[in-house]
Amino acid sequence: MSRDYPLGTIRTEQVWKRFRADQQRMLLRDRVDQMARRLRGDRGEDWRWALRDINLHIEPGESVGLIGSNGSGKSTLLKMLTRVMYPYAGVIDVRGRIGALIEIRAGIHPDLTGRENIYLFGALLGLKRREVAGRFDDIVEFARLGGAIDRQVKFYSSGMQMRLGFAVAAYLEPHVLLVDEVLAVGDAVFQQRCLDRMREVAEQGTTIVFVSHDLPAVQSICRRGVWLEQGTVRVDAGITDALAGYRDSIEAQSEASARVGEPLQLLKYEVRGEDAEDTTLHTDEPVTVELTLGGDYRGDATLHLGVSEGTSSPIFQISHEIRMTGGDHRVACVIPRLPLPRGRYTLWTGVYSIGKTDGGTLMSWHSAGQFDVFGPMLDTPPRAVVMAAPVFVPHQWED
């Protein structure tokens, strides 16, 4: 591979990575391959392919979100970009200084103090001591370590270690910043500060690769999305299109998953507007969600409804106690003013028993289907700030 790329460039060409198979976690496809090899008389060692033929070209200054389910290869790819591990085949080229936070203690030596770790990390990046000193106060302030900066890191809590690691990675002006899901360890305030800092370094021209299951956070940081599935690139597109495809896949998998043996089943659902025959929904107008449940269960239960943009974490959720008497049961929820902007949404539902069997699952939380809303688009900047926004939605129930 040519080395004449500008600083901040990432190139992967036909990258494959395998691990010795864990029999307990082997994918079905790998098990089939294993059985086929054994039928052919091949008794060689079994391997699990974590990445298969990955080709990515990331230009300087791009912000890329790596999305996908657990085990899809996201963290493995990130570790290879940082040269923590190497591919089985293919070539990886990352140009320039790399700031990485892929594990809580990544790049942090536990027997050194916080101060010593900052200067060590800077030296590993090729920075002169005075260059690190010029950023030292910003790092300490961002990490909020105070007097603990001269304490050995092995005596830090996991949150303190994570704050130090992120501050060092983000403030020593790397050409490439790689961040894994470890931000989930911190509290909500620090997570928000990390997202703000990532937006700042992106605007300064740093290349960012961000791995997270927090899809709104990914959308707020990244302009491009790479969806990995079973070690291959399923989608490489603009962040909106990549997230839409991933969310549709999650919703389809949820619909396909059978809930065999559960006491209740969702027989039918309908989402309609003010007119009983109007299935066109509009922002700030009345909406009725009608469900028909079926099953032999008799007793009190709590029905939960949620609306999301694809994942199982809802934008808002409402609940209602119902009494099941066996057979079919109809229940409707009326929302006087739908607080959703234009877009496609997913309706989620679940039913759980109350009383003597408090908390028992009668119908597991799952996707019922999708619906479209017509109305205004949200007026948000390209890199919208992600903040917790609990919402109460006025509603009425009818049994």
- The predicted-structure confidence for 301-356, as pLDDT tens digits, reads as follows 999 999 987 666 688 889 999 999 988 999 999 999 998 888 888 899 999 998 65
Q: Is 83 exposed, middle or buried (0-12, 13-18, 19+ CB in 10 A)?
A: exposed
Q: Is the dihedral of CA 70, 87, 233, 46 positive or negative?
A: negative
Identify the domain boundary among 199, 232, 252. Answer: 252
Q: For residue 97, what is the domain's CATH number?
A: 3.40.50.300
Round to whole Å and give the CA distance between 42 and 34: 9
Within a domain: residue 1? Answer: no
50 and 87 together in one domain? yes
Instruction: Specify whether 301 is located in the same domain as 391.
Output: yes
Tell me, yes or no, whether 156 and 274 share the same domain.
no
Domains held by the chain: number: 2
Q: H-helix or E-strand containing 33?
A: helix 28-39
**Model pLDDT for residues 112-129, shown as the tens digit of each residue:** 999 999 999 888 888 899
Residues 218 and 308 in one domain: no
CB neighbourhood size of 372 (10 A): 12
Is the domain of 214 the same as that of 194? yes
Q: Are 310 and 213 within one domain? A: no
pTM: 0.67
Residue 379 has a pLDDT of 55
Is residue 338 helix, strand or coil?
Answer: coil
Average pLDDT over residues 218-244: 92
**Token pair in block for residue 70:** 């657990």
Same domain, yes or no: 219 and 356 = no
pLDDT band at 25 (very low <50, low <70, confident <90, very high): low
Residues 269, 287, 397: CA angle, nearest 5 degrees: 75
pLDDT in tens, 159-192: 888 888 888 888 888 899 999 876 666 667 778 8
Kindly state whether residues 229 and 154 are assigned to the same domain: yes
Q: Are residues 161 and 245 in the same domain?
A: yes
Q: Could you give the CA distance from residue 82 to residue 80 in angstroms, rounded to a whole number? A: 5
157 and 38: one domain?
A: yes
Q: Do the beta carbons of residue 217 and residue 180 sit within 8 Å?
A: no
C-alpha–C-alpha distance, residues 287 and 273, integer Å: 5
Choosing from 214, 231, 252, the residue where a domain stops is 252
Which pairs count as long-range contacts for 377-381, CB under 8 Å and 24+ apart, including other chains?
377/341, 377/342, 378/341
Residue 5 lies in a domain: no
Do 220 and 268 fall into the same domain? no
